[in-house]
Amino acid sequence: MKLIIQLPCLDEEAQLPVTLADLPREMPGFDSVEWLVVDDGSTDRTIEVARAHGVDHIVKLTNNKGLATAFQAGLDASLKLGADVVVNTDADNQYAAADIAKLVAPIVAGDADMVVGDRQVMSIEHFSLVKKRLQRLGSWVVRHASGTTVPDATSGFRAYNREAALGLTVVSKFTYTLESLIQAGKSQVAVDHVPVSTNEQLRESRLFGSMWSYVRRNMLAIFRIYTGYEPLTVFSMLAAVLFVSGLLAWAPFLWSWIVDGDRSGHLQSIILGGVLFMAAVQVFALGVLADVIAANRTVSQMILHRVRRVELAMGVEPTHYLQAPEAQGSGDRAGDGLDDHTVDQPDTGSTGAHAPRQRSQPAS
């Protein structure tokens, strides 16, 4: 079995050496452990530093596409490079690499398809009390939205087996942590969690400008993702709110009619109630249509799953993959200054024991 540890990176030249120094090269239950860096349009020496510290594979995105896209690109490349299990960790050394063994243990034992590292946020010293409370609140919302029991929904320290990675499709451009967890819960993926440790903070997070901006974007993301999987539930709740509001708007007229027998007046209440009732019917109808679309989305995901398997069988190369130096005729992982050749083929992700086919260098 092969384990690939992937690290999405954006300008991590300073932090990457510290992170890589702790990553394991051997793991019980695996024949090989390899490292993969996803460069999300870095403008510093992230790639050079990665090679100098023994990274096996590099995926270089042409520009900064966001953490969610980088995560998906790394997952797809890892599967095409033959990974049986993929571990995702942050390049800023937030998570303790020693806990990777704990993270993959439920998968190796066959008890889980996906495992999330629980940072136990209440014990993290550099988190403010407000941030800790908001993290717990957000995780509680995601647990109810996904039907899982994961206590730390925003943790990026995760492990996926081949089947779980094959079925994962991230659409959000902001967060993969929430979407992948809700998607896993709705897809009946066996999700587990284990307590993990965190290291001292090396730099401030670059995912958001302020705490409230982060909360706002996450709440919108949760609502959007959950609506994508349970549209009829969401639209029915909205329709129910409009229906009750319509009854309340009609209350003055109904009171006068039933109690006093007077049906005159309250024209505004009658009009407002009628508008709200019509809106309730329309919103419910939209929910029915959205539910049909959601069913088609499920079919599309099943088709994508099969396409990924076909790509694996055909040996399709990972998108934006930079061939390792040894594949270009060098035995030194650090490079030797040889040119890189980016493989740019359509990619939807795959798994298996196939490494990318190597292309010959152009003639001088």
Does residue 266 share a domain with residue 128?
no
Reported as a single tens digit per residue, the pLDDT across 34-90 is 999 999 999 999 999 999 999 999 999 999 888 889 999 999 999 999 999 999 999
pLDDT at 218: 79
- Choose between 361 and 86: higher pLDDT: 86
**Which range has highest mean pLDDT (100-109, 140-149, 183-192)?**
100-109
Looking at the structure, tell me whether residues 198 and 247 fall in a common domain.
no
Give the residue-averaged pLDDT of 247-256.
84
Q: What integer pLDDT is reported at residue 278 of this predicted model?
A: 95
Burial of 247-272, coded b for 16+ CB within 10 Å and e otherwise, reads eebbeebeebeeeeeeeeebeebbeb
Average per-residue pLDDT in the chain?
83
Pair (45, 130) in one structural domain: yes
pLDDT over 90 percentage in the chain: 46
139-142 own/partner pairs: CB under 8 Å, 24+ apart: 141/219, 141/222, 142/178, 142/181, 142/182, 142/222
Out of 151-155, 192-196, 231-235, 305-309, pick the least confident.
305-309
Minimum mean pLDDT range among 58-62, 289-293, 299-303:
299-303
Residue 353 domain-assigned? no
pLDDT at 259 over 50: yes
Q: What is the mean pLDDT of residues 339-350?
A: 40
pLDDT value for 331: 39
Residue 360 has what pLDDT?
Answer: 36
Same domain, 65 and 162: yes
Give the pLDDT score at 238.
95
Domain boundary among 229, 250, 282: 229
pLDDT at 107 over 60: yes
132 located within any domain: yes
Same domain (yes/no): 10, 145: yes
For residue 142, give the nearest of 150, 132, 133 by alpha carbon.
150
Tell whether 84 and 193 lie within a shared domain: yes
Q: Using the 3D structure, point to which of 273, 301, 329 is the last residue of a domain.
A: 301
Structural domain includes residue 103 = yes
* Same domain assignment for residues 10 and 116: yes
- 162 and 143, same structural domain? yes
**Does residue 9 carry a pLDDT above 60?**
yes
Q: Could you tell me how far CA 300 lies from the centroid of its own chain? A: 18
Q: In the prediction, which pLDDT does 323 show?
A: 61
- Domains: count for the chain: 2
Per-residue pLDDT band for 353 (boundaries 50, 70, 90) equals: very low
288 lies in some domain: yes
Cα–Cα–Cα angle for 66, 87, 93, nearest 5°?
A: 70
Whether residue 184 is found in the same domain as residue 203: yes
How many C-beta atoms lie closer than 10 Å to residue 85's C-beta?
25
pLDDT of residue 206: 60
For a pLDDT cut of 70, what percent of the chain falls above it? 84
Mark whether 137 and 268 lie in a shared domain. no
For residue 15, the enclosing domain spans 2-229
Q: Are residues 196 and 261 in the same domain?
A: no
Under a CB-based contact definition with an 8 Å cutoff, are residues 215 and 132 in contact?
no
Instruction: Assess if residue 331 is contained within a domain.
Output: no
Write down the pLDDT at residue 324.
Answer: 54
Where residue 135 sits, what CATH number does that domain have?
Answer: 3.90.550.10
Lowest-confidence region among 173-177, 239-243, 337-341? 337-341
pLDDT of residue 160: 96
What pLDDT was estimated at residue 150?
93
Structure tokens that stand for 219 in this block: 């709440």
Strand order in the sheet with 85-88: 191-195, 114-118, 158-161, 85-88, 2-9, 32-40, 57-61, 321-322, 342-343
Rounded to the nearest 10 degrees, the angle between the axes of helix 211-229 and helix 177-186 is 20
**Which pLDDT score, from 0 to 100, does residue 359 have?**
37
Same domain membership, residue 263 and residue 218 = no
pLDDT of residue 143: 92
Specify if 354 maps to a domain: no
Q: What is the pLDDT of residue 205?
A: 65
Last residue of a domain, one of 260, 276, 301: 301
Structure confidence at residue 204 as a pLDDT band (50, 70, 90): low
Check: CB of residue 58 under 8 Å from CB of residue 37: yes
What pTM was estimated for this model as a whole? 0.76
Q: Check if the beta carbon of residue 164 is closer than 8 Å to that of residue 203.
A: no
